[in-house]
Amino acid sequence: MSDARRADGRLAGKVALITGGARGQGAEEGALFAAEGATVILTDVLDELGEAAAGAIDGAEYVRLDVRDEAGWAAVVDGVVARHGRLDVLVNNAAIDLVKRLDATTMEEWHRLIDINLTGTFLGMRTAAAAMRAGNHGGSIVNISSVAGLEAVNGHGAYSTTKWAVRGLTKNAALEWGRYGIRVNSVHPGVIETPMVSDTRVMTDPATRAKMERAITLGRFGQPRDIAAMVLFLASDESSYCTGQEFTVDGGIHH
């Protein structure tokens, strides 16, 4: 079912680009953004899922983008501005996980996580900010980090490193681009039920899941809608005085 765009929604008239939009948090953000009036462009490398996600959202588009590709970023953002006249919101949602001890992590795995989770975020921020400055209308960039970017998480050393780096990158960009009216914030999800973690032990083993749920103050795993609601707030003018900040959405697991 498609979502009708609201002319009076919190993102009415805004154009939003969401990476990792084929499924999970990205797809949920796209649906919520469109329901709040935004023109939505989803990107991913999972073309079949991406086309289906965009097809389920009123007026949304899907564009293939490997976030590691500098020229690809330029082409996608230029295309968005050419078709819609502006870019107001970027959500850097694309990322991969790796459950592995640091001493077992290969250089290939290390570089892949850095390239997608960190360099991809940097390229998106830099490219989108240039378009926002050229349009002279400001904008909002939301980087999806993790609670693993706030504290050490056993067995996720490489992943955690990238998410700590996204946190620092967010703060520096906010400092540099505030003069242009561009706000940059990070969101730090806890355990969220998405396809990215569907095959991990915490999701597949009932005893492990129950133990983790007991450790969460609110007693449940998060859903993509929980993250989308926070991202919507940061994308909208309701958060117009928020920049360079960290917003934790984890049910209370991180204290």
Question: Which residues belong to the active site?
Answer: 159
Q: What's the sign of the alpha-carbon dihedral 24, 29, 30, 31?
A: positive
> How does DSSP classify residue 135?
H
Q: Are 139 and 132 in contact (CB under 8 A)?
A: yes
Q: 73 CB contacts (<8 Å, ≥6 apart)?
A: 65, 67, 123, 124, 127
Tokens of residue 130, six digits:
């240039």
Q: For residue 58, which amino acid is it?
A: D
Number of Cβ atoms within 10 Å of the Cβ of 123: 20
d(CA 228, CA 224) in angstroms, rounded, equals: 6
Q: How far is CA 34 from CA 70, 152, 162, 197, 247, in A?
A: 27, 35, 29, 26, 22
